[in-house]
Structure 1
Amino acid sequence: MKIALGSDHAGFAQKEMLRTWLSSQGHEVHDFGTHTADSMDYPDVAHPLSEAVAAGEYEEGILLCGSANGVAITANKHAGVRAAIAWLPELASLARQHNDANVLCVPARYVSGEQAQEIVSAFLKTDFEGGRHQHRVSKIDG
């Protein structure tokens, strides 16, 4: 799977761990940054990643920041992006099943590295159910 991955400084360490882990699982991962733990502005990563997902360049996107709120708000400014915050694997699965989420936002300050892997794994292995949910998802972009 082609995955777009990015974070701000608060999510940097987990992003690095996830990049290595996802690559070892056979995924093609593009790292949109940040590339250091130095303070930076999350929209500088979230906007280009979201544009690439919306354009179909990547099947899924994963963004990390301290609370996941900033990257989720930014990502959802892009038509065609359905970004969802998940701090539990069940929430990641539901975001895929019911909302056809294509960008997962992980709150790096509130989950461990192991939890982040479980959340990402649940997100990536879950399919959109369609059916009654498709009608609702179709209304998102207007």
Structure 2
Amino acid sequence: MRIAIAADHNGYALKVRLTSWLTAQGHTVDDRGSHSEDTVDYPPLCADVCRQVTEGHAERGIVLGGSGLGETVACNKIRGIRAGLCHDLWSTRISRGNNDSNVLVLAAKILAPEDAEDIVGTWLTTPFKGGVHARRLEQIAALEEESART
């Protein structure tokens, strides 16, 4: 799978680890930054990863920050993105199975690296359930369209 990934300074070390792990798993990883632990603003990184997904350059995106909260807000401002902040395997399965998330947000300050790998692995392999969840995603898309018109 083609995956775009980015992290702010708080998520940099975990991003480096996950990039290596994902590559070892056979994925193509596009590291969009940051490339050091120097302080950086996360909104442009989020927008870049999300645009890689919406423009079809990547099938999925992963964004890492300290808490992941701001990153989730920023990602979900991009039309067509369904970003989910996941702290455990349960929320990860819901994010993909029910919400068909196309961007995963991780909180580097609270996740152990091994847990982050488990979450990413689960997120990449959990299919969207469809059914009633598809109807709800259509309703969310309608909200997004309505908001774009006002």
Do the structures match in fold with TM over 0.5? yes
Report the number of matched residues: 142
After superposition, residues 18-57 of structure 1 pair within 5 angstroms as 18-57=18-57
Secondary structure class of the residue paired with 1:16: helix
Distance 1:8 1:24 in 2: 23
| Counterpart-to-counterpart distance in 2, 1:75 and 1:44 | 10
- Aligned equivalents of 1:141, 1:79: Cα separation in 2: 9
What is the CA distance between 1:94 and its match in structure 2?
1.0
The runs of 4+ residues in structure 1 deviating greater than 6 Å are none
Q: Report if aligned partners of 1:95, 1:101 keep a CA contact under 8 Å in 2.
A: yes
1:131 equivalent in structure 2? 131
**Whole-Å Cα distance in 1 between the matches of residues 25 and 138 of structure 2?**
32
Q: CA deviation at 1:116?
A: 0.5
2-side partners of 1:56 and 1:98: how far apart? 22
- Taking only the aligned residue pairs, the percentage that are identical comes to 39
In structure 1, distance between residues paired with 2:72 and 2:4: 14
Give, in angstroms, the shift of residue 72 of structure 1: 0.7
Aligned to 1:14: 14
Q: Distance in 1 between matches of 2:77 and 2:16?
A: 25
Runs (5+) with no aligned partner, structure 2 = 143-150
**Matching residue of 1:79:** 79
Q: Could you say which residue in structure 2 is the equivalent of 1:91? A: 91
Instruction: Give the TM-score normalised by structure 2.
Output: 0.92
Question: 1:95 Cα deviation (Å)?
Answer: 0.4
In structure 1, the gaps of 5 or more residues are: none
Alpha carbon RMSD of aligned pairs, Å? 0.7
SS in 2 for 1:67: coil
Q: How many Å separate the matches in 1 of 2:47 and 2:8?
A: 12
- For 2:90 and 2:56, the matched residues in 1 are separated by 26
Distance 1:20 1:50 in 2: 21
CA contact (8 A) 1:32 1:49 kept: yes
TM-score scaled to structure 1, two decimals?
A: 0.98
SS in 2 for 1:5: strand
Separation (CA, whole Å) in 1 of partners of 2:79 and 2:47: 12
Aligned partner letter, 1:38 = D
- Structure number, greater radius of gyration: 2
